[in-house]
Chain A
Amino acid sequence: MTIEEQIREIIAKITRVDKSIITRESTFKEIKADSLDVVQALVAVEETFGIEIPDEEAQKFQNFGDFVSYVENRVAQEEKV
């Protein structure tokens, strides 16, 4: 499974929405994710990929695609290290 697919699964499970509606352009509001859902998604993603996503960074995510891109970059950086 790709990073994008894994994050989509995590968010769908937390927000209980069908994962097919989550596109890279979807905003958290469109996915019906409230502030608690977002924090729980961040924590689950952090644990899945062994990275830390500070709130300062998370607040910049405009949509699902931003979230995925951030995690992809971080995972790539970790692999380099």
Chain B
Amino acid sequence: MSLEGKLALVTGSGRGIGRAIALKLASQGVDIIVNFFRHRDSAEQTAKDIEALGVKAEVIRANVGDPAKIDEMFDMIGNKFGRLDILISNAASGVGRPVVDIDVKAWEWTMDINARALLLCAQRAAKLMEGRGGKIVSISSLGSRFVLPNYTIVGVSKAALEALTRYLAIELAPRGICVNVVAASAVETEALKFYFKEGLVKNNRQVTPAGRMVIPEDVANVVAFLCSEEAFMIRGQTIIVDGGTSVGLFTLAGK
């Protein structure tokens, strides 16, 4: 399953799931463009760890919620590398509020970063994948299909992301580009601490049939598989990584 010599952009890869994906791909010989927005130190640490694996790393700051910044990022990739093999649209943000307290600002902020960014990044990435094919994988969550407390905007943005993935998968298929999405349940990351604080998730260790919470590496393993040629016939799918949480909802209801 070697991806030797490929070039990947992983948005939001300074920390958490993005960092785990970047390191996993790097361990398979992929050069990585580490995108970050708010945490430069973490991004630079990720880049160092990638280079320690014997591949190249480039750090680019960009708010993927801002179309002009996405353009700047891809202009830089185009000028410097002239190609891209893998796009991982992982960067995410969110505002935890009950439905009645959601305002336009919070809605747009979340939708722009979590959903629109995939569209804009995929459009630019497809051009850099022209004639060579490629892989696009984004990261969703169970909130796209199940109701979690105060998770409305993020859940809706993830549902949009999953729907967009299906359209991209079909329309980009003739260009040899495979597009899929990985949806995880609560993953043990820095971001989760924020969600705990905002009351978005409760400790779900007890309600995961697999007996532990999902960790970033669980998601990264599936993403790496979707980036491999072995996954060539998987298109437009949402692959759930949740230790059985979603299919065990009723059996776990009493726990």
**Contact residues of A with B, CB < 8 Å?**
34-36, 39-40, 43, 52, 54-56
Q: A40–B105 Cα gap in the complex (Å)?
A: 10
**Contact residues of B with A, CB < 8 Å?**
38-41, 61, 63, 93, 95, 105-106, 109
**Judging by beta carbons under 8 Å apart, are A54 and B40 in contact?**
yes
Which of chain B's residues has its CB closest to A53's CB?
A: B38
Contact with A56, one of B39, B63, B105 (Cβ below 8 angstroms): B39
- A36-B106, A36-B109, A43-B63 known; A56-B41 Cβ under 8 A: yes
- A43-B63, A52-B61 known; A36-B95 Cβ under 8 A: yes
Besides A36-B95, A36-B105, A56-B41, 18 other A-B contacts (C-beta < 8 A) = A34-B95, A35-B95, A36-B106, A36-B109, A39-B38, A39-B93, A40-B105, A40-B109, A43-B63, A52-B40, A52-B61, A54-B38, A54-B39, A54-B40, A54-B41, A55-B38, A55-B39, A56-B39
Shortest distance between the CB of A61 and any CB in chain B (Å) = 14
Total inter-chain residue pairs, C-beta < 8 Å: 21
Which of chain B's residues has its CB closest to A42's CB?
A: B38
Q: A54–B45 Cα gap in the complex (Å)?
A: 14
Shortest distance between the CB of B126 and any CB in chain A (Å) = 28
Q: A39–B95 Cα gap in the complex (Å)?
A: 11
